[in-house]
Amino acid sequence: MTSFTAFALPGELDLNRLAAGLGFPRRYRWEEPMVLDQASLKPLSGDQGTTKRVYLYFFGGVVFVNCTEEEARAFFWSMAHYAEPFKSVPDEKYRDDYALALGESSGPAVTNDLATMPVYDPAYVDTICFVIAKSVALERIEERVDQVLDEMETVIGMLDRGKLGISDRRLAKLAANVLTYKYQSIAHVMVLEKPEFTWENPEADRLYLTMANVFELNQRYNEIKHKGETLLDITGVFTSLAHARRASRLEWTIIILIFIEIVIYLFELAR
């Protein structure tokens, strides 16, 4: 049986820069993971069987294959010297555990914590790593979006009481957060994209589609997308109200200045 443990890092990973820091400069495509030996941090390729290894993805997903809890923590400690996101310990909130087993007498069976396949194929390992890395990355984005929604709810409550107590700086920060989450979910997590190797491996393709359905990747992506659009709409309303408030203040300032000029003019005439 092959075991998998996935974590979501607090930020994205620049795999090209990381490779240079580890001493093997090379260029990685967005969908291509960096695969390292858990202990030596040396790059691996091809079928590694039961080797303890780690898959790293641009969008901040980290998947340990056949590694213990202690080995995962040791890997984080070692990698902290090369990449900022590893300086925090693995966050248990953004974690998924999975396993791959062989069952020769039965057909493929996929659940939310185990995939049983008739024969072994290294592409199955790559597929499982890709899916659960996406899942934990989505989980982190989902929590951040919900935090922004909660903040927006507070602002909406103030608006309901007739108060628009939100500064331009805070409004800009909220809008930036919303755009960041939309960008992360689309560009970094690549939810709607399949790994390239599945196009040439029908069994791996079926496993990917089944796991994507089990982990509800598309549904969760659409929820984030919908929440992001809602947040942008709300931010747009606040922006319009803020502009109207500034325009009203400017108009009153002009009126007051005109009034002062008239008073000064009348005062001069009276003299």
Q: How far apart are CA 136 and CA 8, in angstroms?
A: 5
- What pLDDT sits at residue 231? 77
Residue where the block lists tokens 């996406």: 134
* Beta-carbon contacts of residue 42 (< 8 Å; ≥ 6 apart): 24, 36
| pTM greater than 0.85 (yes/no) | no
Q: Is residue 190 left, alpha or beta, with left meaning phi > 0 and alpha meaning psi from -120 to 50?
A: left
- What pLDDT sits at residue 105? 62
Q: Is residue 216 left, alpha or beta, with left meaning phi > 0 and alpha meaning psi from -120 to 50?
A: left
Q: How far apart are CA 179 and CA 163, in angstroms?
A: 25
Q: How far apart are CA 9 and CA 52, in angstroms?
A: 20
- What pLDDT sits at residue 190? 62
pLDDT tens-digit profile, the chain (271 residues): 899 999 999 878 899 999 999 999 888 887 789 999 999 999 998 777 888 999 999 888 999 999 999 999 999 999 999 998 898 877 788 899 999 998 866 678 899 999 999 888 999 999 999 999 999 988 888 888 888 788 777 777 766 676 666 666 776 777 777 677 666 656 555 656 788 888 889 999 999 999 999 999 988 888 888 887 887 777 777 777 666 667 777 888 888 888 888 888 788 777 6
- What pLDDT sits at residue 153? 78
Residue where the block lists tokens 């993971």: 33
Count Cβ atoms below 10 Å from residue 168 Cβ, excluding itself: 12
SS3 content of the chain, % helix, strand, coil (to 5): 60, 15, 30
- What pLDDT sits at residue 164? 61
User: In the numeric block, which tokens belong to residue 229?
Assistant: 């659009």
- What pLDDT sits at residue 38? 92
The SS3 call for residue 217 is helix
User: In the numeric block, which tokens belong to residue 55?
Assistant: 């898959």
Please, are residues 73 and 90 in contact by the beta-carbon 8 Å criterion? yes
Residue 118's identity, in one-letter code, is P
